[in-house]
Amino acid sequence: MTRPPAHRAAAPSGVLVLAATPIGDPRDAAPRLAEELRGAQVVAAEDTRRLHRLCQALHVRPAGAVVSYHEHNEASRTADLLERLLAGDRVVVVTDAGMPSVSDPGYRLVAAAADAGVRVTCVPGPSAVLMALAVSALPVDRFCFEGFLPRKAGERARHLAELADERRTMVFFEAPHRLGTTLAAMRGAFGDERRAAVCRELTKTYEEVVRAPLAELVTWAEQGEVRGEITVVVEGGAARPADPEAALQLVLDRVARGERLKDACAAVAEQTGAPKKGLYDAAVRARHTAAGS
């Protein structure tokens, strides 16, 4: 006898839309942004006044409810927004600039919506992180985003110390009144000659990109008040000379755990900066020596 198919609960029909907003020039807004603001049942904005000004620039009026959604009410308001999503509403989240959830409100709601099976999508758009990388003149093939550093000096110093050997280009956000202190801390952790770029007021009237070693940037920041939205891009550290014996041991340990010799050599070479062929040859000799003893 054929059994009926097991009942499967229908997925919620609501949609959560993370909508990127311009980081300065409203002309950078994606055409879809106006459509989403116009058609959503709920628009959750980090700052409703800024949203109002953006809507005026885009010549759009949200048809649905507009609610505040910022760092001070994100935890409590997430439940309300999730309830609207589960009821079938289209909820658009916008922050003051850039993509929601990237150093801005949104992460909690994304996580809650995903756990509840709600569809999550986004309207792509301007990004201070990517723009700063692009104009920094630093390597962009590999990078990491570190957001805002801790405000307390000790915590900031410890965090930067952990990044001293980071080989990828690093991107940070910083408030203008803390920029000089942050650059000095970076200089202490990374050295005078580490290259960096301070990107200020990107896409705005007074856009400025200052590229120099950290020691020079510290001096530049001390010469006067720096204003506006700040993104700092810092060159990754150079690979330190590897200890040949320690690197070889890492390879042998990986092989002992079942990894192929070729793959183990490639991984350790990437990790330590040791030459891959040298590691391979040394590992072969070590295995032959062990087999003959």
pLDDT (tens digit per residue) in 164-204: 989 999 999 999 999 999 999 999 999 999 999 999 999 99
The yes-or-no verdict on residue 52 having pLDDT over 80 is yes
User: Can you tell me which residue has the tokens 């490639």?
Assistant: 266
The residue out of 73, 107, 126 marking a domain boundary is 126
The yes-or-no verdict on residue 155 having pLDDT over 60 is yes
Residue at 133: amino acid letter: L
Give 201's Cβ-side CA count (13 Å radius): 9
Could you tell me which of 243, 198, 33 has the C-alpha nearest to residue 123? 33
Same domain, 104 and 121: yes
The residue out of 126, 151, 179 marking a domain boundary is 126
Bigger pLDDT: 240 or 174? 174
The yes-or-no verdict on residue 105 having pLDDT over 80 is yes
Within 8 A by CB and 6+ apart from 157, the residues are: 185, 188, 189
In a domain, 90, yes or no: yes
- pLDDT value of position 269: 87
Domain containing residue 164: CATH number: 3.30.950.10
Which residue blocks in 64-223 are alpha helix, DSSP H? Answer: 74-86, 107-115, 128-135, 153-162, 179-190, 214-222
pTM comes to: 0.77
CB 58: neighbour CB atoms within 10 A? Answer: 18
Bigger pLDDT: 271 or 255? 255
Query: Per-residue confidence at 289, pLDDT binned at 50, 70, 90?
Result: confident
Query: Which range, of 168-182, 213-227, 262-276, averages the lowest pLDDT?
Result: 262-276
**CB distance 197 to 208 below 8 Å:** no
Same domain, 190 and 259: no
Which residue blocks in the chain are alpha helix, DSSP H? Answer: 31-39, 48-58, 74-86, 107-115, 128-135, 153-162, 179-190, 214-222, 244-256, 261-272, 276-292
Give 145's Cβ-side CA count (13 Å radius): 12
In a domain, 261, yes or no: yes
Same domain, 122 and 50: yes
Same domain, 146 and 224: yes
Same domain, 201 and 224: yes
Structural domain harbouring 220? 129-234
Same domain, 79 and 115: yes
Domain containing residue 76: CATH number: 3.40.1010.10
- Number of structural domains the chain divides into: 3
In a domain, 293, yes or no: no
d(CA 51, CA 66): 9
Same domain, 100 and 117: yes
Same domain, 85 and 162: no
The residue out of 72, 107, 126 marking a domain boundary is 126
Same domain, 87 and 160: no
**CB distance 169 to 139 below 8 Å:** yes
Mean pLDDT of all residues in 100-110: 91
In a domain, 83, yes or no: yes
The yes-or-no verdict on residue 2 having pLDDT over 60 is no
Sign for the CA dihedral angle at 42, 48, 50, 55 comes to: positive
In a domain, 2, yes or no: no
The yes-or-no verdict on residue 27 having pLDDT over 60 is yes
Same domain, 134 and 206: yes
Mean pLDDT of all residues in 263-271: 88
Same domain, 84 and 109: yes
In a domain, 4, yes or no: no
In a domain, 268, yes or no: yes
Bigger pLDDT: 165 or 119? 119
In a domain, 185, yes or no: yes
d(CA 202, CA 225): 17
